[in-house]
């Protein structure tokens, strides 16, 4: 039997328990030195100071921490940052800027699709990913595809409106 540890790449430095990882976030390469326990969510917020991604439940239940990895939406609270070196990560900060909003961000503004705003970045990250997913045309389809994003203010009706408006605009309907 092979010895454990051989033929594995130890991504850690046994000396101090920290790992050096290069994350690609919003098109920029960022080298970070982190504890293996650090989630992508905490790394984005606490190390890279990208605080648009929110921590809600921290257990993959609320969707506030939704980001895109390799073009797909995931819960960043359940991803270990050190396991995502080299992956293309996009956060709400990478979608648009205050002067040049992503059409989905503009649609959320126009439809007043939030109250307190805490879940909104996660909602928008899910909604933007939804545009590339096999989601049917109806409001019920949108509700199903958005069920992983909880809004405790209950802004759901306007969230659905915003998403449908952005879909129509982007599909030129």
Partner 1 sequence: MRSFHLVRANDRPAAVAEGAASHTAQQGASVRFLAGGTTLVDLMKLGVERPERVVDINRLGLDGIHKQANGDLFIGATARNSDLAHHPLVRDGYSALSQAILAGASTQLRNAATTAGNLLQRTRCMYFRDSASACNKRTPGSGCPAITGTNRMLAILGTSEACIANHPSDMAVAMMAYDAVVHVQGVSGDRQIRLMDFYVLPQQRPDIETVLAPGDLVTHVTLPPPPAGERSTYLKLRDRASYEFALVSAAAAITLSNGMIASVRFALGGVGTRPWRASEAERALVGQAPSEEAFRKAAEICLKGARPQTQNSFKVELAKRCIVHAFKQVVH
Of 36 and 103, CB closest to partner 1: 36
Of 8 and 173, CB closest to partner 1: 8
Q: In angstroms, what is the minimal distance from the CB of 23 to partner 1? A: 15
Subset of residues 61 to 80 that bind partner 1, contact rule: CB under 8 A: 63, 66, 72-75, 78-80
Q: What is the 3-state secondary structure (H, E, C) of 47-112?
A: HCCCCCCCCCCCCCCCCCCEEEECCEEEEHHHCEHHHHCCCEEECHHHCCECCECCHHHHHHHHCC
Subset of residues 134 to 173 that bind partner 1, contact rule: CB under 8 A: 134, 143-145, 147-149
Per CB under 8 A, 3 contacts partner 1: yes
Determine the Cα–Cα distance for residues 101 and 154; give it in Å rounded to an integer.
24
Applying CB under 8 A, among 26, 39, 91, 120 the residue interacting with partner 1 is 39
Stretch that binds partner 1, among 9-17, 43-51, 97-105, 151-159 (CB under 8 A): 9-17
Applying CB under 8 A, among 11, 20, 22, 97 the residue interacting with partner 1 is 11
Per CB under 8 A, 31 contacts partner 1: no
Per CB under 8 A, 126 contacts partner 1: yes
Long-range pairs for 23-30 at CB < 8 Å and ≥24 separation?
A: 23/48, 23/81, 23/84, 23/85, 23/87, 23/89, 24/86, 24/87, 24/88, 24/89, 25/50, 25/89, 25/90, 25/91, 25/94, 26/50, 26/89, 26/90, 26/91, 26/93, 26/94, 27/94
Residues that bind partner 1 (CB under 8 A): 1-12, 14, 17, 19, 35-37, 39, 58-60, 63, 66, 72-75, 78-80, 82-83, 126, 129-130, 133-134, 143-145, 147-149
């Amino acid at each position: 039997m092979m010895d454990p540890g051989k033929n594995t790449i130890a991504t850690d430095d046994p000396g101090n328990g920290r790992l050096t990882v290069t994350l690609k976030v919003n098109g920029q390469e960022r080298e970070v030195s982190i504890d293996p326990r650090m989630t992508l969510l905490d790394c984005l917020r606490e190390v890279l100071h990208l605080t648009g991604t929110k921590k809600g439940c921290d257990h993959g239940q609320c969707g506030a921490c939704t980001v895109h990895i390799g073009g797909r939406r995931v819960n960043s609270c359940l991803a270990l940052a050190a396991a995502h070196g080299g992956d293309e990560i996009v956060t709400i900060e990478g979608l648009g800027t205050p002067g040049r909003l992503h059409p989905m961000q503009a649609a959320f503004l126009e439809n007043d699709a939030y109250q307190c705003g805490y879940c909104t970045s996660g909602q928008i990250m899910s909604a933007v990913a939804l545009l590339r997913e096999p989601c049917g045309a109806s409001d019920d389809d949108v509700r199903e595809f958005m069920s992983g994003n909880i809004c405790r203010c209950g802004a759901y009706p306007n969230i659905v409106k915003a998403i449908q408006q952005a879909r129509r605009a982007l599909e030129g309907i």
